[in-house]
Structure 1
Amino acid sequence: MAQPVQGQPTGGEKGAQWMPAPPERPVGCPPGLEYLTQLDQILVHQQVELLEAILNWETKNRYVVKNSMGQQVFFAREESGLCWRLCCQQGRPFVMHITDNNNEEVIRIVRPFQCCAGCCWCADGGNCCSLTINIESPPGTIVGTVTQTRSSWKPEMNVMNSSGETVLKIRGPCCLCNMVCCRCDIQFAVMSADLTQEVGIISKQWAGAIKEMFTNADTFSITFPRDLDVKVKAVLVGALFLIDFMFYEQKN
């Protein structure tokens, strides 16, 4: 099989315009994350898989990550086993590889298999009932973790840094039906660790009746302060994928 040519993007939309690389990487910024230092919003579009849409056969997810001007910043592809996708669907373990426009993997998101996790009444921020996802940048170096917390009716998550300290919290809407059935954008508020200030939003965007009915190809956006720690921005990208798999990977 032919190998990708360095510097030639292999993933994403055909004819996509790529975001130009920043002139230099700030001190302490993991390689490839310098793109995020310039952004206060990213858009994540899941690509429609024809086989999945026609046969309802769960395939590996692929996503295009863009800036607010529509320029492609990253490409994300899921690595998972066929049996996991067919039998576990939303609960499947996976590795999400996120590459830049040089085909270099800059972020790796790892979700382990947790057979008893997911109940918002039982989750307690890291116990066996809490859904967890780890974010690495560069691959092999954990920069943060997102873990589900006990929340009764509202989905809630802790965003933690590499030291295990909670730096942000995420709060979803009150009703699960609103998250799954609502024909509008669904917002998950990104709050400060003490819950006194909203610092950003992860939004599941309504894609239209036809696309929502026949596929589970979702569109998300994240807004955050431009000067937010770039590693925390990468962890919020991981939070987005955890939200997608928790609530929006059901069969249509």
Structure 2
Amino acid sequence: MFNASPPGYQPTTTQPGPTPQNGGWMNFPQQIPNCPTGLESLTMVDQLLVQKIYVEELHRDGFLINNSSGQKVYYVEEDSDGSLLQGLRPFDMKIFDKYINEAIHLYRPLACQGCFFPCCMQSIEVLSSPGIVAGRVDEEWSILLPKYAVKNASGETVLRIEGPFRKNLCCGSVKFKIMSADGRVQGKISWYELGSRNDADFVITFPMDLDVSMKAVLLGASFLIVTIIYILVGVYFY
């Protein structure tokens, strides 16, 4: 079993950033049985587009998470003084819903930078509100292909993610396959070279009927993977 929450975790109910008054938010479904609070919108999507934005009132970068129609689903900001996705330092990322309540929390512990030994594998823990573990993503040791195990709250591997050869991670846009535990392709995480797409920096695609908690975990996986790609290509979100 995983920790109930990362060190220093505090659920947030209000936070600066894009608000419902700005418009463009998708309709927020209400009272879905057995759906964790804040994840209701994920029941209605099979694709998430993540785009970096600059938040003037905070004087820092953030992210908008949109559906395939371009409607806002979530807003993301990092709960630290560092630059978003800069290096492989530990971070907490807060993901807010339409009502500016924290719906998802991402926590990544300290990791070794540029190290491929088994003791230095990357991981990220994903929590839904209020501090309930949805699952986690653990990098698996591999020399040629980047591989990740996507686990539920009980620690069972539900999905796997496999990328292209490591040398190809520095060569333009790349795609990571999302597969079931028995190897069937279920979706993908696509990272786009800077400037090659104007509506998203990376896109996550998954089955519509996938458990909403696992959709949230895949969202966390995408941030972990993109962080590592940016380390390899030497570009950060400043």
Q: 1:36 to 1:99 in 2, by over 3 A?
A: same
Corresponding residue of 2:68: 68
Q: 1:140 to 1:15 in 2, by over 3 A?
A: closer
Matched, 1:188 2:209: no
Query: Higher relative CO (CA 8 A, sep ≥ 6), structure 1 or 2?
Result: 2
Identity of aligned residues (%): 41
Inter-partner Cα distance in structure 2 for 1:148 and 1:60: 29
| SS in structure 1 at match of 2:34 | coil
Corresponding residue of 1:55: none
Q: 1:118 to 1:170 in 2, by over 3 A?
A: farther
- Which is greater in Rg? 1
Corresponding residue of 1:143: 134
Aligned length: 220
Corresponding residue of 2:115: 119
Matched, 1:130 2:126: no
Deviation at 1:247, TM superposition (A): 1.3
- After superposition, residues 146-225 of structure 1 pair within 5 angstroms as 146-176=137-167, 178-182=168-172, 185-195=173-183, 197-208=184-195, 219-225=201-207
- After superposition, residues 85-96 of structure 1 pair within 5 angstroms as 89-96=86-93
Corresponding residue of 1:17: 24
Q: 1:80 to 1:8 in 2, by over 3 A?
A: closer
Corresponding residue of 1:33: 39
For residue 248 of structure 1, the aligned residue among 213, 227, 230 is 230
Q: 1:164 to 1:42 in 2, by over 3 A?
A: same
| SS in structure 2 at match of 1:234 | helix
Q: 1:20 to 1:188 in 2, by over 3 A?
A: same
| SS in structure 1 at match of 2:94 | strand
Inter-partner Cα distance in structure 2 for 1:49 and 1:155: 33
Q: 1:179 to 1:236 in 2, by over 3 A?
A: same
**Residue identity matched to 2:33:** V
**Residue identity matched to 2:191:** K
**Residue identity matched to 1:42:** L
| SS in structure 1 at match of 2:203 | strand
Deviation at 1:33, TM superposition (A): 0.6
Corresponding residue of 1:106: 103
Over aligned residues, Cα RMSD in angstroms? Answer: 3.0
Question: Unpaired runs of 5+ in structure 2?
Answer: 1-12
Question: Unpaired runs of 5+ in structure 1?
Answer: 1-5, 51-58, 212-217
Deviation at 1:244, TM superposition (A): 1.5
Deviation at 1:248, TM superposition (A): 1.5
Matched, 1:234 2:216: yes
Deviation at 1:193, TM superposition (A): 1.1
CA-to-aligned-CA distance 1:206-238 (integer Å, 9 cap, x gap): 342699xxxxxx711111110000000000000
